[in-house]
Amino acid sequence: MLLAAGALLCAQPKKIEWTDAEKPIVTRIRGLRAMGDEERATATKELALQIRQLPAGPHKETLAEGLAGLATEGDPGAGTLQEVSTTLAQALREEPPAGKPGEPAMPYVTLAQLVRYEHVQASSDDPQFAAAMAKLEADDRARASANFTLTDLQGHSWTLKELHGKVVLVNFWATWCPPCRKEMPDLERLHNELGPRGLVILAISDEETAKVEPFIAEHKFDYPILLDPGRKVNDLFHVEGIPKSFVYDREGKLVAQAIDMRTRGQFLEMLSQAGLK
């Protein structure tokens, strides 16, 4: 999900008095994850258009950002993502939120992520949007030069920079994360199919062994599961929402990244940018 935006509506942290016009939208957003992929894409586009028709106000911004945080789970299509982004940009123009001193407000970061990583057409004249774009650029520079050493569940040590000659997919996940769990079977298939051709998947969780080990054993995933209980590597990669995935080519260059759950087809497209087909 985009940072924690999707959680705004799936598990509302504080009580909001929704209007009669907003209540059915909230209910439908909360039900998106229970839908099939095609139905969900259609519903997401419809919701974006419905939110756009609401009067200006902080509730509109909350709904727009919450929908954006869920829209990037999987592959809803470019048209749907464009409608979601247009709605969020409109809500920000109508009611610009204030960020913390020296930091852009989270909705601007969400919009910037959609523009930078999902390649939608959206913008904002608010300086917070420019600051959010600059932050993402700095984060990408850090990821491009990042290195780490972590240990997997079998006690084997993995160092990113020592995997020269391999295509490496670094995936951040957790057992409690629904979109993470949804993409894991596809990662397993890619591991089995493309591992012999040079793919290495390093799946990193910040949870403790006692939580991760039984989950992996139950689902019988064989690709390497690395533990980062102190979140040092999560912080190194500036990971604030999961799942996140990063692909490095055989020369160690960062060539593709995903800000949310990906489908098998989307993962294959990312891997093709590393020359693996």
Domain count, the chain: 2
Residues 6+ apart with CB under 8 A from 9: 26, 29, 30, 62, 63, 66, 67, 70
Reported as a single tens digit per residue, the pLDDT across 179-188 is 999 999 999 9
CA–CA gap between residue 53 and residue 181 (Å, rounded): 34
- In this structure, the answer to whether residues 223 and 111 fall within a common structural domain is no
- In this structure, the answer to whether residues 33 and 133 fall within a common structural domain is yes
- In this structure, the answer to whether residues 197 and 241 fall within a common structural domain is yes
* Predicted TM-score of the model (pTM): 0.92
- Burial classification of residue 64, based on how many CB atoms lie within 10 Å of its CB (0-12 exposed, 13-18 middle, 19 or more buried): buried
Cα first-last separation, the chain: 26
CA–CA gap between residue 44 and residue 70 (Å, rounded): 9
Beta-strand relationship, 225-227 and 199-205: parallel
Q: Please state the φ and ψ torsions of residue 90, each to the nearest 5 degrees.
A: -65, -45
Categorize the per-residue pLDDT at 273 as very low, low, confident or very high, splitting at 50, 70 and 90. very high
- In this structure, the answer to whether residues 171 and 82 fall within a common structural domain is no
CA–CA gap between residue 269 and residue 263 (Å, rounded): 10
- Supply the pLDDT for residue 5: 45
- In this structure, the answer to whether residues 59 and 40 fall within a common structural domain is yes
Categorize the per-residue pLDDT at 10 as very low, low, confident or very high, splitting at 50, 70 and 90. low
Residues spanned by the domain of 258? 149-272
Reported as a single tens digit per residue, the pLDDT across 103-158 is 999 999 999 999 999 999 999 999 999 999 999 999 999 999 999 999 999 999 99
Categorize the per-residue pLDDT at 1 as very low, low, confident or very high, splitting at 50, 70 and 90. low
Beta-strand relationship, 244-248 and 167-173: antiparallel
Beta-strand relationship, 157-159 and 167-173: unpaired
CB 73 within 8 A of CB 266: no
Q: Which amino acid is at 165?
A: G
- Supply the pLDDT for residue 4: 44
- In this structure, the answer to whether residues 100 and 157 fall within a common structural domain is no
